[in-house]
Amino acid sequence: MPDSYIIEVDSRPAGIVVRDQDGFRFFAASHRFSRLEGRLFRNAREAECAALRLVNGEQPAAA
């Protein structure tokens, strides 16, 4: 299983998630996704969904 994933929303980079001992940590690619910076997710899909919620003007789910 990979240790990092690129997260894209609407074919644009949102950030990357990197596996650590507790899950996947998000590192934002732009200011637009800075609210997710450093957040821990159970998996890459969960991080992608949080980024998509931000783009859609919704509140990202609590970590």
Domain locations along the chain? 4-55
57: left (phi over 0), alpha (psi -120 to 50) or beta: left
Tens of pLDDT, residue by residue over 8-54, are 999 999 999 999 999 999 999 999 999 999 999 999 999 999 999 99
Q: What's the confidence (pLDDT) of residue 1?
A: 64
Q: What's the confidence (pLDDT) of residue 57?
A: 87
Beta strand 23-28 pairing with 4-9:
unpaired
Q: What's the confidence (pLDDT) of residue 58?
A: 80
**Predicted TM-score of the model (pTM):** 0.88
